[in-house]
Amino acid sequence: MEEALVRAVLFGTPILLAALGALLAERSGVVNLGVEGIMALSALAAFAAALGAGPFLGVVAGVGAGVALALFLGLFAITLRANPFVAGLAVAALGLGASGMLGKRYEGVPLETALPEAPLALSALFLALLLHLLLYRSRFGLYLRSVGENPKAADLFGVSVEGVRYLALGLGGGLIGLGGAYLSLAYRPSWTDGMTAGLGWVAIALVILAAWEPLRAVFGAYLFGLLFFLQFRLQGSVPIPSEAFAAMPYLLVILVLALSGRSRAPKALGQPFERGR
C-alpha cells in the first residue's frame, strides 16, 4: 500500500510538471499541443548535459530546452497567429523527431550520477502550490488570467497580451522541460527514443480533468501515477493480457475527456489576439 502510494507520486511527477506547464499557457489563452515533443527534447538535452557537466547543469539544460522550444511555438501561435493546434502538433513532431535523431548516440549509455527522485517529486508539489499562488495571489496572475479570459479588455488596460502570453508559454515550457529532465535524470536515468511514451498527451488531458486548477492537477497526476503503477504491478498476476494494462491510461484519458468536457476552459483559449477586431 505504502509502496503503491510512493510509486504513484514518483510516476505522477513528470505528468504533473508537464500538466502544470500546459496549464500555465492555457490560462493565458495559448494552447500548447507540443508538450510531448518539448518533453522528449528536454529529456535528451538534460541527459546529454548531465553526461558532460553533471546532473545540476543537466536540469538547467532540460529546462532551457523546454523554454526555447515553447517560445519557438509562440513565434507561430502568438506572433504570427497561425493555427495554434496545428503549430502545436508540428512542434510535437519536431521535438520527438529531433530528440530521436540526435539522441541515437546516447542510447544505452549509463548515467553515472542519477538525481534522487524524492526531492524532485517534492519540488514539483511545491511548484504546483507556487503556481496556484501566482495565478490567484499576484498581480501578474491577475493579468495572466484576464488575458486568457478577455484579451481585449486586458489590452485596453494597457496589459501587453502578447507579452503575457509569451511569458506564460515560456515559463510553462520550463516546467515541461523539468518534467522531461526528471524522466531522463531521475526516474529512468538513461535515454531511449520514445521514453516519454505519450505522457505529454496525458498531461494535456489532465489539464482538462483538473479544470485548469494547479492544485487539482496534483491529485489527477497522482491518480494517473497510481494507474501506471498498477499496470506494472498487476502484470502476470491476473489473467488479463499486459497490453490491456498498457492501454489503460489512454483509455482513462478518453473517459476523462468524455466526462469533463470543456466547459470551464479560459474563454479566449486557442484564439489568436487581433487588436481592434
Partner 1 sequence: MRLELDPAPSPKKVALSYGAFLLLALLLLGLLFLAYGVSPLRAYEILLTPLLDPLGLAEVARRAIPLLLIGAGLSLAFRVGFFNIGAEGQLLLGAVGAAYVALFLPPGPYTLPLMFLLGGALGALWAGLAAWLRVRFGASEILTTLMQNYLAYYLVVYLVAGPWKGQFVFGFLYTDRFPEAARLPRLGDSLVHWPTLLLGVGAALLLHLLLFRTSLGFSLRVLGENPQAARYLGLKEGRLMLLVALASGLLAGFAGVGEVAGIHGRLLEPAQISLGYGFTAILVAWLARGRPGLTLLTAPLLGLILAGGDALKLAFSMPFRVVDVVAGLLLLALIGAEAASRHRLIWRR
Which residue ranges make up the site for partner 1 (CB under 8 A)?
33, 37, 75-76, 79-83, 85-87, 89-102, 104, 193, 198, 201, 204-205, 208, 241, 243-244, 246-247, 250-251, 253-254, 257-259, 261-263, 274-275, 277
Closer to partner 1 by CB, 87 or 227: give it: 87
Closer to partner 1 by CB, 86 or 118: give it: 86
Closer to partner 1 by CB, 237 or 263: give it: 263
Least Å from the CB of residue 83 to partner 1? 6
Burial of 82 (0-12, 13-18, 19+ CB in 10 A): middle
Least Å from the CB of residue 208 to partner 1? 8
Among 269, 263, 273, which residue's Cα sits nearest to residue 24? 269
Among 231, 249, 250, which residue's Cα sits nearest to residue 241? 231
Least Å from the CB of residue 107 to partner 1? 9
Closer to partner 1 by CB, 136 or 233: give it: 233
Closer to partner 1 by CB, 170 or 272: give it: 272
Least Å from the CB of residue 133 to partner 1? 29
Closer to partner 1 by CB, 186 or 249: give it: 249
Least Å from the CB of residue 204 to partner 1? 6
Kindly state the DSSP code that residue 207 receives in the 8-state scheme: H
3-state secondary structure 114-167: CCCHHHHHHHHHHHHHHHHHHHHHCHHHHHHHHHHHCHHHHHHCCCCHHHHHHH
H or E segment and range at residue 231: helix 214-234
Least Å from the CB of residue 19 to partner 1? 13
- What is 67-102 written as a DSSP string? HHHHHHHHIIIIIS---HHHHHHHHHHHHHHHHHHH
Least Å from the CB of residue 116 to partner 1? 30
Residue 191: CB atoms within 10 Å: 24
Closer to partner 1 by CB, 97 or 141: give it: 97
Among 178, 202, 18, 164, which residue's Cα sits nearest to residue 78? 164
Tell how far CA 30 is from the center of its chain.
14
Coil/strand/helix, residue 212: coil
Alpha-carbon radius of gyration of the chain: 18
